[in-house]
Amino acid sequence: MTTPVIDLFASALQFRPDGDVRVAERRMTSSDSGTWQIATFHVENDAEVHADHWEMHPEAEEAVCCLTGDVRLYFRPTTPGGAEDMVRLSAGTAVIVPRGRWHRLELNAPSDLMSITLRHGTRLEKRTRIH
């Protein structure tokens, strides 16, 4: 038996409820219910991390991991007129985004990122206020 090597920058790993692990196309939004996705990205600019959009995962927390580079993760205010909370991630660090919490990324430098979450029900919303 030959075990294939998987390019994590070209595809995602999906961990299914039945215990199977599958190689699949990376998805920013919904996947099968109960299927966790691990996706790795090399990003060069803010457009590649949809900095102009908020993202939210209603069914699970998300681990956002900075493998190389330097990024800022912003949380949308929970009250009208409130300030965004920001967490800086440098190489080798991660943050857990709470279930249902709107968030977005901006880059300080080109970076390699990894996202681990249930994508089912994921929502994107255009930012109305850009600073």
The full set of domain ranges for the chain reads 12-126
Which residues are within 8 A (CB) of 124 and not within 5 positions of it... i.e. 6 or more apart? Answer: 28, 29, 50, 53, 54, 55
Q: Write phi, then psi, for 97 (nearest 5 degrees).
A: -85, 125
Examine the pLDDT at 70 and tell me if it is beyond 70.
yes
Strands (E), 1-129: 12-15, 21-24, 36-43, 53-56, 62-75, 85-90, 93-97, 103-118, 123-126
pLDDT higher than threshold 70 for residue 123: yes
pLDDT band of residue 29 (cuts 50, 70, 90) is low
As a whole number of angstroms, the distance between CA 43 and CA 46 comes to: 8
Band of the pLDDT at 34, cuts 50, 70, 90? confident
Question: Among 33-37, 46-50, 109-113, whose mean pLDDT is lowest?
Answer: 33-37
Report pLDDT for 43: 96
For the domain made up of 12-126, give the CATH fold: Jelly Rolls (2.60.120)
The residue length of the chain stands at 131
The pLDDT confidence band at residue 80, using thresholds 50, 70 and 90, is confident
pLDDT at 119 over 90: no
Q: Average pLDDT in the 82-100 region? A: 97
Residue with tokens 């990003």: 43
CA distance 52 to 63: 20
3 state DSSP class of 10: coil
